[in-house]
Amino acid sequence: MNILGEAIRRLRLKNELTQVELGKLTGFKQNTISQHEKGKREIDEEDILKYCKALGVSPQTLFDMSSKKRTSKELSIIYNKLETKRQTKVYDFATEQLNEQNNKITNINDYIEEETNWYEVKFYGSISAGTGLYLDDEQVETINFGADMVPSGTDFCLKVNGDSMEPMFNNGDYVFIKRETDFRNGTIGAVIVNGEAYLKKIYIRDNFIRLVSLNKKYKDITVSEDDTLKYVGTVVF
């Protein structure tokens, strides 16, 4: 079993790639990628380098994304394998860390104020990941996010309404948008069609535009020359 599968899956979705598309970049078959992402197939050093090159990240980033907290059971197993003297050192160090933690955070509100860098983002309301909502440019609020939560290039944010863009975006999630007038084929962005706003993956065809949901239970929306379309902006990660 490998520990990198979930990180690979998240990076693939972030890069708007299907397993088949990622397979073309790495040389892996779609079934192999599926097994890797589920953690059911081992990944060696060569495989890791192929994924990192295709996904545009370093091996360290991939491992950092895959790191997880140890369970109490795992810690207990390791502790019990140590010699008595080493167990004492572990206990003393853990006690020291706990005391330092308790002394450092005396007031959670003070801690949040001092340690968190806040970033104010314009909020234009909800956008449909389903059947369409009205988006009003005049109704502007602001929301504070931790600075590390706001992607570079963000101009404003919207709140997802519906489940048509699952599993990437869930109902109630905030999406960060870079305001743009043009879009590339396959972009995930916010569009207004005949006065209703959608969050969709956008494909350009010869004489129409196709708005695609990531949730396969929703049908594509076809935008023809008779429809009015305004591109609001691109989702940034």
Q: Which of 126, 128, 164, 213 is catalytic?
A: 164
Q: Which of 126, 128, 200, 213 is catalytic?
A: 200
Q: Cβ–Cβ contacts within 10 Å for residue 12, how many?
A: 20
β-partners of residue 119 are: 145
Q: Is 152 a catalytic residue?
A: no
- Which phi and psi angles does 235 have, rounded to 5°? -70, 130
Cβ-contact 3, 64 below 8 angstroms: no
DSSP assignment of 16-77: T--HHHHHHHH---HHHHHHHHTT-S---HHHHHHHHHHHT--HHHHHHHH--PPPHHHHHH
Six token digits for residue 197: 């706003």
DSSP assignment of 118-156: EEEEEEEEEEESSS-B---TT--EEEEEEGGGS-TT--E
Six token digits for residue 108: 């959670």
Cβ-contact 56, 67 below 8 angstroms: no
Q: Is 219 a catalytic residue?
A: no
Give the active site residues.
164, 200
